[in-house]
Amino acid sequence: MNEVVKTREGLTYDPTQDCKLVGAARALGGIKDAVTIVHARPGCHCGVLLLRALGSNQNDIRIVGSGFRAQDMVYGAEGRLAAAIRLSYNNFKPSLIAVLNCSAPAIMGDDVEGVVLSMKEEIPAEIFSLSTGGYEGPAWIGYEETLTELTRFMHNHDKKERDSVNIIGFKMDEIKAYSDLLEIERMLNSQEITVNAVLTNSSFDELKNAPRASLNIVFGGDGLECAKIMQEKFDMPYVVTPYPFGLNNSIEFLECVTKSLNKEINQEFITAEKNRIKERIERIFLFLQGIYDMSVAVIGDGARAFDLAKFLSDELCLNVKVLAITSRNLISRDKNENNGDYFETLLLEPDRFEMDEEIKSKGVEMIFGSSMEKKLAYELGAPLVRISYPVIDEVSISDAAYAGFRGTPHLIEKIVNSVINNYTEV
Amino acid sequence: MIHEEENREAGFLRPLVNAYSTLPLHGITAIPGKISGALMVADAIEDAVPLIHGPIGCSFQRKINPFRPYLPFYETPCTDMNDLEVVYGGEDKLRMGIKETFEKYHPNLIVVITTCASDLIGDDFKAVIEEVKAKGDMDCEVVYTTGDFTEKSKPVGYQDALYAIADQMLCKGMENERTDKNDGSVNIVTFPIHGAGLKVEEMASVLKEMGIEINKVCFDHTRVEDLYDLPKAELTITDYPMAWARLMKKRMDVDYFATVRLEEYRDSRDAELLSPYGIEGSARVFLEIAKRLDKEGEAEDVIERRKKEANERLSEVRKELEGKKVAYTGMGGLHSLEVMLLQDMGMKASVIIYNTRGLERLLSEDAIQEVLDITLEWARKYGSDPEVLVNPTTEGEIKAMKRTETDLAVVSSLTNAVYEFNKEGIRTFNPLDFMLHHQRIGFECPVELAFQLKDALKKPKTRNPLLCMLEYDTCRTNLIPHWAKLADMFAILREGAIGDMDRAAYLK
């Protein structure tokens, strides 16, 4: 069991997580033929657009603002929203248009539902709206609600496709998302399992047919509510797996999935992958001995940070002094209670000021986090491995994953290089 | 805050800034909200901390600085407003939040930034702040900015936060007080968004030589105590008209002078007033400042000598530039290098490219024509007879440049398909890079430009840019079609008329 669990102390909150709007926008961003309309003052639209544009999907921004202006605070912006829906359809011909109703129009009482209903006659695409006022909750709630909303459009399939799975909780705007997904699919294919739909990295039509699969894989617990509804509505079982960082998580991931599908695991594949990893780490074993027991902090959301910390602690034998879960999900607390022996202090949805103070007091030598930890890393003189959302100062366009068997050497390479590249004096 | 120090600029910061400079954001596909502008102000004051009175998204999302995406706002505490406060009011949370922010960060100034949620529910920010301050248990200034103090002055958040500081802190209760004046001194206040804005050493040196003392330079390691010294100056020099400077004049008798003289241009239509750069532009600015402070006599000698020195240095490089043909995008002088190219370098305008897309929904036809006329008149004034291309295709641009035997295209990837020009053997010079890192008032700037242009004319040719593999929009030639659609939609949806139309009619 870990030493300390801490939550936020004060009333003011320098947040390490975003609001409901961003959670919803992230979920929708992975639907390849959907347009997201941010019905809000310009700052919210600009913020969501920036989050996307500063990542590695600059050719795929389907985020439209409704053009909400100051005068609309008095007269309402329903006309603008209607225009945004129409223009979105005319320009992108999407299968789905999702309207995210943010703080200003939500408080003012814009009849967003009414606009959506009236536009349905004219626009040959599915349209729905979600209430995403910033005051309504954090990003993970928005993410869960959006995936849940998507289940409304799904078709039941009585005959399930054998050994076909959906992946739930996958976010296409994470660093290395594209390459991680390629590796995860490769791993599943090695067990003769195919991927039916990814929530979310699929077309709307593929999502509608998600119930065709025989199992839902829930990464780290994100999207659990959606999986539960799909179980109830479509009689689809689900399994919560770790995010496959490192060797053990990758094996556990495959074991969970194969077991749920009543399949024998392909041990030959795992042995081959193990050998491959062994051969790779042998090439740098002196460095791995050198960084053994290095004190680190891991900062990230509940679906990935627990699993990353476990890999760093169990396999690389780094000393995880602080694990900060910036954004939890429905199983984060269970994860702590059941498995919390691979970190020293756990911070749950901490205030940034308090988190920074805690990390500074622990003699941390390396940080695993997002771009928002750049200043902290600089102040500590510690390398920062950008692995948590949002990463806005690093791109990833190669096929080199962080996840899975193939991702393990790459992640190790990144970690070691971050240490030995870091010496700034010449 | 990262400052662009001369010795680090070429190696590290300049490419970093440039990497983000082509993001088609500001007014093209999106507009940063008021919070970002207000955070720029709070961030520029070393011992100030913002307190965002709103939900977590207004804090977390705004950490990404749209003006400088490479440099987030790391400290953005908020009051974590939730649905309870939206119903019952957030004043208690604000009250406690201010106190807690003081205890946590120990700042000398807390800038309360209101949000859509707190604005709409009608929290009485002023009363809360006065109450907290009246208790006297906080040794700290507190101001609040709503975005409503300065009406249409842009950028709203930036203007409004500075106005709030002037109104609620510097000028408060001072109407009948006499401030100790630092006679004959000026404040130099530049917009920290502009990369080269902080390079005011030469300006300060020229002014000092004229006998004008520098009271304060903002924002350069500025602290709250420095802000309190601002009213001691006789004149505040800003780069653009600023609402807070007007307020300082009204309440504290500190006159102001905007180097880009938009207000005067409106009356006189003298386009020179829009271009404070280059040797003559800088001389005009320095002389005008001197006039305001009755230092014309001293100023004329200083300016003449500095001009002479700069012209001597320039003349050596100018030999290699004079008469060279340049193509450039016309912006009517604002932000533009065109006057320096024509006047200081003696180059000839061969092609003027004018992109009006997006502008058509922001400016009237007359206004667009006015900007075009300014650009064209300048070219003619300095002996050029350029081809004018309005909303051309890239092919059209290349043909015109080849036809006119253009030596150099002064264009950036933010507006043009630079790589296509390079592929066709046309050398380019990036004006955006110059604007972000070098452009400033003073006599050194045109000399720097001359050296850079000379280098650009000798730059090795790039023949097969990978960027040419992509498909671009035929109208917005620097953008792929996807982004061009976003830009077009943004322009339409921001149009003022939409909000004023009857909803029912619109839904038809």
Do residues B292 and B222 both lie within one domain?
Answer: yes
Sign of the alpha-carbon torsion through A412, A413, A416, A421: negative
Q: What is the pLDDT averaged over residues B263-280?
A: 86
- Contact A84/B at CB under 8 A: yes
Q: What is the pLDDT averaged over residues A182-188?
A: 98
Indicate the pTM of the whole model. Answer: 0.94
- Chain A partners of B58 at a C-beta cutoff of 8 Å? 19, 43, 103, 134
In this structure, what CATH number is given to the domain that contains residue B161? 3.40.50.1980
Do residues B66 and B195 both lie within one domain?
Answer: no
Angstrom distance (rounded) from CA A240 to CA B53: 38
Domain A20-137 CATH assignment equals 3.40.50.1980: yes
Do residues B340 and B438 both lie within one domain?
Answer: yes
Residue B165 domain-assigned? yes
A370-401, pLDDT tens digit by residue? 999 999 999 999 999 999 999 999 999 999 99
- Chain A partners of B492 at a C-beta cutoff of 8 Å? 67, 83, 87
**Cross-chain Cβ contact B105/A20 below 8 Å:** no
Highest mean pLDDT among A8-17, B3-12, B400-409: B400-409
Quick count: other Cβ atoms within 10 Å of Cβ A426? Answer: 3
Q: Exposed, middle or buried: residue A285 (CB in 10 Å: 0-12, 13-18, 19+)?
A: exposed
**Domain encompassing residue B432:** 322-469
pLDDT of residue B2 exceeding 50, the answer is no
Q: What is the pLDDT of residue B10?
A: 55
pLDDT of residue B113 exceeding 50, the answer is yes
For residue A327, the distance in angstroms to the closest alpha carbon of chain B comes to: 12
pLDDT of residue B6 exceeding 60, the answer is no
Q: What is the pLDDT averaged over residues A234-248?
A: 97
Q: What is the pLDDT of residue B386?
A: 96
CATH topology of domain A277-420: Rossmann fold (3.40.50)
**Cross-chain Cβ contact A50/B81 below 8 Å:** no
Do residues B359 and B454 both lie within one domain?
Answer: yes
Min mean pLDDT across A152-166, A267-281, B7-21 is at B7-21
Percent of chain A with pLDDT over 90: 89
Q: What is the pLDDT averaged over residues A2-23?
A: 88
Quick count: other Cβ atoms within 10 Å of Cβ B430? Answer: 19
**Cross-chain Cβ contact B82/A136 below 8 Å:** yes
| Angle between helix B201-209 and helix B296-321 axes, rounded to 10 deg | 140
- Contact A135/B at CB under 8 A: yes
- Contact A90/B at CB under 8 A: no
Q: What is the pLDDT of residue B335?
A: 61
Domain ranges of chain A: 20-137, 164-275, 277-420
Residue B286 domain-assigned? yes
For residue A210, the distance in angstroms to the closest alpha carbon of chain B comes to: 28
Backbone phi, then psi, for A397, in 5-degree steps? -125, 0
Q: What is the pLDDT of residue B498?
A: 47
Residue with tokens 């790039």: B462
Residue with tokens 């007091």: A361
Is the complex ipTM more than 0.90?
Answer: yes
Q: What is the pLDDT averaged over residues A168-193?
A: 97
Tokens of B177: 């007080």
Give B398 or B474, the one with higher predicted confidence. Answer: B398
Min mean pLDDT across A21-35, B209-223, B254-268, B455-469 is at B254-268
B232-255, pLDDT tens digit by residue? 999 999 988 889 999 999 999 999
Question: Whats the size of chain B, residue-wise?
Answer: 508
Q: What is the pLDDT of residue B415?
A: 84
Residue B162 domain-assigned? yes
Q: What is the pLDDT averaged over residues B386-391?
A: 94
Residue B491 domain-assigned? no
**Cross-chain Cβ contact B121/A107 below 8 Å:** yes
- Contact B120/A at CB under 8 A: yes
Per-residue confidence band for B176, with pLDDT thresholds at 50, 70 and 90: low
Do residues B215 and B157 both lie within one domain?
Answer: no
In 3D space, the residue among A360, A356, A100 whose CA is nearest the CA of residue B57 turns out to be A100
pLDDT of residue B181 exceeding 70, the answer is yes
Of the three residues B120, B142, B170, the one that is the final residue of a domain is B170
Do residues B163 and B65 both lie within one domain?
Answer: yes
Q: What is the pLDDT averaged over residues A225-248?
A: 97
Do residues B287 and B343 both lie within one domain?
Answer: no
Do residues B157 and B46 both lie within one domain?
Answer: yes
Do residues B154 and B233 both lie within one domain?
Answer: no
- Chain B partners of A22 at a C-beta cutoff of 8 Å? 57, 60-61
**Cross-chain Cβ contact B100/A12 below 8 Å:** yes
B144-170, pLDDT tens digit by residue? 999 888 876 778 899 999 999 999 999
For residue B355, the distance in angstroms to the closest alpha carbon of chain A comes to: 22
- Contact B267/A at CB under 8 A: no
Of B56, B120, B507, the CB nearest to A82: B507
Do residues B137 and B210 both lie within one domain?
Answer: no
Kindly give, in sequence order, each residue whose CB lies less than 8 Å from that of residue A348, ignoring residues fewer than 6 positions away: A5, A6, A7, A325, A328, A332, A333, A336
- Contact A304/B at CB under 8 A: no
Per-residue confidence band for A332, with pLDDT thresholds at 50, 70 and 90: confident
pLDDT of residue A158 exceeding 90, the answer is no
Highest mean pLDDT among A217-221, B237-241, B357-361: A217-221
CATH topology of domain A164-275: Rossmann fold (3.40.50)
Number of domains in chain B: 3
- Chain B partners of A15 at a C-beta cutoff of 8 Å? 56, 59-60, 78, 80
- Contact B19/A at CB under 8 A: no
For residue B29, the distance in angstroms to the closest alpha carbon of chain A comes to: 8
Q: What is the pLDDT of residue B62?
A: 95
Min mean pLDDT across B11-25, B171-185, B421-435 is at B171-185
- Contact A94/B at CB under 8 A: no
pLDDT of residue B5 exceeding 60, the answer is no
For residue A381, the distance in angstroms to the closest alpha carbon of chain B comes to: 17
Angstrom distance (rounded) from CA B41 to CA A137: 28
Enumerate residues 341 to 400 of chain A having a beta carbon within 8 A of any beta carbon in chain B. 351-353, 371-372, 374-375, 390, 392-393
**Cross-chain Cβ contact A43/B34 below 8 Å:** yes
Q: What is the pLDDT averaged over residues B129-156?
A: 89
Angstrom distance (rounded) from CA B76 to CA B43: 10
Of A14, A53, A67, the CB nearest to B76: A14
Residue with tokens 């603002």: A65
- Contact B56/A at CB under 8 A: yes
Do residues B333 and B435 both lie within one domain?
Answer: yes
Of B58, B74, B490, the CB nearest to A65: B490
Percent of chain B with pLDDT over 90: 67
Question: Whats the size of chain A, residue-wise?
Answer: 426
Q: What is the pLDDT averaged over residues B66-72?
A: 92
Q: What is the phi-psi region of residue B5: left when phi exceeds 0, alpha when psi lies from -120 to 50, beta otherwise?
A: beta
Secondary structure E strands in B83-239: 109-114, 141-145, 185-189, 213-218, 235-238
- Contact A242/B at CB under 8 A: no
> What is the Rg, in whole angstroms, of the alpha carbon atoms belonging to chain B?
24
**Cross-chain Cβ contact B57/A44 below 8 Å:** yes
Query: What is the CA angle A397-A398-A402, rounded to 5?
Result: 100
Give A134 or B359, the one with higher predicted confidence. Answer: A134
Q: What is the pLDDT of residue B190?
A: 81
Give B172 or B464, the one with higher predicted confidence. Answer: B464
Do residues B189 and B292 both lie within one domain?
Answer: yes
A–B interface: beta-carbon pairs under 8 A: 230
Q: What is the pLDDT of residue A75?
A: 85
Residue B244 domain-assigned? yes
- Contact A239/B at CB under 8 A: no
Residue from B74, B482, B500 whose CB has the most chain A CBs within 10 Å, to mutate: B74
Q: What is the pLDDT of residue A53?
A: 94
For chain B, the average pLDDT equals 89
Q: What is the pLDDT of residue B506?
A: 44
- Chain A partners of B49 at a C-beta cutoff of 8 Å? none
Q: What is the pLDDT of residue B137?
A: 87
Residue B138 domain-assigned? yes
For residue B277, the distance in angstroms to the closest alpha carbon of chain A comes to: 32
**Cross-chain Cβ contact B32/A46 below 8 Å:** yes
Residue from B8, B21, B25, B60 whose CB has the most chain A CBs within 10 Å, to mutate: B60
Angstrom distance (rounded) from CA B174 to CA B345: 49
**Cross-chain Cβ contact A135/B55 below 8 Å:** yes
Residue B261 domain-assigned? yes
Residue B485 domain-assigned? no
